């Protein structure tokens, strides 16, 4: 009798409606983390500073200005897989021209190698082959693996291969925002 009840509960959890709610919750968590963190309580990681609220990227000199020009790539043009994007957010990268900060605390260690290397292995390889790939500074805050997955899910669902939609603009700014007028249907 108990097994039957457990099976019904598990089937209920696996329903499309439950999966859709879980997906929406994951995407909303990803959006919260993507946003600029004005205070630690906001929970944001500041992705918006470099990639812009609508994912098209922006150039600025705020972060790391003494090292390299800052600014993020256009996420709408990204062709990265989920796994590649998770590694990029976790490990960051430094290509000598731009920095993507690392957001996972264990990145570049034996516990979580980045691009197949630890920080020491990257430094050793860099001395012979150009600048290191490991970014010199961490992100604005460290993210847990689930938070990294949420940011990646958000980026891939909302930005990658797409342009901003009215629905996500309203979620970002609020339902009464004039900032979303560009995505509203024109009424004549």
Q: What is the pLDDT of residues 57-95, one digit of tens each?
A: 876 655 555 544 557 889 999 999 999 999 999 999 886
pLDDT at residue 3 tops 80 = no
Range with top average pLDDT, 47-51, 155-159, 175-179, 181-185: 155-159
pLDDT at residue 40 tops 70 = no
pLDDT at residue 141 tops 70 = yes
Q: Quick one: pLDDT at residue 149?
A: 96
Q: Quick one: pLDDT at residue 8?
A: 37
**Cβ burial 97-136 (10 Å sphere, 16+ → b, else e):** ebbbbbbbeebbeeebbbeebbbebbeeebeeeeebbbbe
Average pLDDT for 105-110: 94
How many angstroms separate the CA atoms of 89 and 29, rounded? Answer: 15
Structural element, H or E, at residue 3: helix 2-13
How many angstroms separate the CA atoms of 97 and 154, rounded? Answer: 26
Average pLDDT for 143-172: 92
pTM over 0.75: yes
Radius of gyration of the chain (CA): 19
Kindly tell me the sign of the dihedral angle through the C-alpha atoms of 57, 83, 134, 36.
Answer: positive
Confidence of residue 150 (pLDDT cuts 50, 70, 90): very high
pLDDT at residue 44 tops 90 = no
DSSP string, 57-108: -EEESSTTTTTS-EEE--GGG----HHHHHHHHHH-EE-SS-EE-B--TTBT
Compute the mean pLDDT over every residue in the chain, rounded to the nearest whole number.
Answer: 79
Coil/strand/helix, residue 109: strand
How many angstroms separate the CA atoms of 117 and 119, rounded? Answer: 7
Average pLDDT for 155-168: 91
Q: Are 36 and 140 in contact (CB under 8 A)?
A: no
Q: Quick one: pLDDT at residue 148?
A: 96
Q: Are 107 and 139 in contact (CB under 8 A)?
A: no
Kindly tell me the sign of the dihedral angle through the C-alpha atoms of 90, 49, 160, 157.
Answer: positive
CA 183 to chain centre: 23
Q: Quick one: pLDDT at residue 10?
A: 37
């Amino acid at each position: 009798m108990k097994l039957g009840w457990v099976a019904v509960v598990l089937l209920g959890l696996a329903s499309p409606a439950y999966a859709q709610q879980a997906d929406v919750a994951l995407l909303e968590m990803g959006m919260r983390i993507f946003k600029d963190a004005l205070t630690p309580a906001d929970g944001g990681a500041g992705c918006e500073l470099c990639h812009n609220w609508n994912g098209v990227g922006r150039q600025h000199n705020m972060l790391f200005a003494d090292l390299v020009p800052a600014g993020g790539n256009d996420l709408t043009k990204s062709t990265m897989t989920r796994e590649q994007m998770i590694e990029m957010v976790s490990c960051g990268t430094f290509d000598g021209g731009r920095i993507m900060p690392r957001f996972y605390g264990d990145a570049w260690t034996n516990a979580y190698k980045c691009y197949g290397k630890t920080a020491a292995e990257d430094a050793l390889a860099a001395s012979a082959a150009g600048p290191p790939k490991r970014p010199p500074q961490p992100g604005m805050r460290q993210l847990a693996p689930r938070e990294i997955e949420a940011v990646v899910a958000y980026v891939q669902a909302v930005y990658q291969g797409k342009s901003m939609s009215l629905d996500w603009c309203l979620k970002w700014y609020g339902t009464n925002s004039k900032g979303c007028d560009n995505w509203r249907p024109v009424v004549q």
